[in-house]
Amino acid sequence: MKPWPYPRWVAHRGAGLQAPENTLAAFQLGARHGFRMFECDAKLSADGVVFLLHDATLERTTNGQGLAGDLSWEALSALDAGSWHSPAYASEPLSRLRTVGRWLQSRDLFLNIEIKPTSGFEAETGTQVAREVAQLWADAKLWPFLTSFSPVALEAAARVAPHLPRGLLLNQWDDTVFDAVRAHRHQALICHYALWTPLRLQQAAQQGLWRLSYTVNDPAVADQLWLWGHEAIITDAIDVFDPRR
């Protein structure tokens, strides 16, 4: 297994639950808490712009309505993506990957990009995210780490930019996962923390895979995962964990 080159603690969606997820304000807050690596969700607007949003629809985290991927970036950029969280973040906009990427690079911070395609656009999203990442981070010392629950999106990213490190996300264990990861030369397996057992972690290590968990907010759970063997942990609890440990 190659050594994990990134920080061990990853702030989920920028700042966990402490700021409106996937916005620039969230990354700024996460950095103020000492985090040096962040996770985000990336999808495509109707006109092909890579922007950050977790849900397929807009209602939960913006004042918009409907399927996010149906709107142009011009329409998406006019939405309020902060008021749902708290008045302090009223009018915080959605972020382009380009904007967040430039801000992170200027501060020597790192990124885990989850490719989160609109249904039916898995290959297109994986392709465009990988292209944009390869361009934006062309001169970086350490590229962003691409992950996805969608094998199709991840494989499309691999075809476009095979040099970018990749990991498959799982929310349900599948005993064939190691065959799939090996076949597509992914470098990591990222599971909901409850799916990991010492045996599965050992098997992943034997395959040369980096091992990560999401979303770990309990210190006792984190301690157990470190003891069993983990390269990194993704957390919402940026106010609980010390990312320097």
- Residue 46 is predicted with a pLDDT of 98
Task: Check: CB of residue 124 under 8 Å from CB of residue 143.
Answer: no
Q: Pull the structure tokens for residue 103.
A: 């801000």
Cross-strand partners of 210? 188
Q: Which of 116, 160, 167 is nearest to 10 (CA)?
A: 167
Kindly list the distances between the CA atom of residue 155 and the CA atoms of 63, 76, 150, in Å, as whole numbers in the listed order.
Answer: 33, 27, 9
The reported pLDDT for the residue numbered 1 is 83
10-residue mean pLDDT profile of the chain (245 residues): values are 96 98 98 98 98 98 98 98 98 98 98 98 98 97 97 98 98 95 96 98 97 98 98 98 91
Please work out, in degrees rounded to the nearest 5, the angle formed at the alpha carbon of residue 180 by the alpha carbons of 50 and 192.
65
Given the residues 12, 85, 186, 230, select the one marked as catalytic: 12
Give me the pLDDT at residue 13, please.
Answer: 98
pLDDT of residue 245: 79
Residue carrying the six token digits 């409850």: 194
Structurally, at CATH architecture level, domain 9-235 sits in: Alpha-Beta Barrel (3.20)
> What pLDDT is recorded for position 219?
98
The total number of residues shown for the chain amounts to 245
Q: Is 54 in the active site?
A: yes
DSSP 54: S
Write down the catalytic residue from 33, 54, 184, 192. 54
- pTM of the predicted model as reported, rounded to 2 decimal places: 0.98
pLDDT at 110: 98
The gap between the terminal CA atoms of the chain, to the nearest Å, is 22
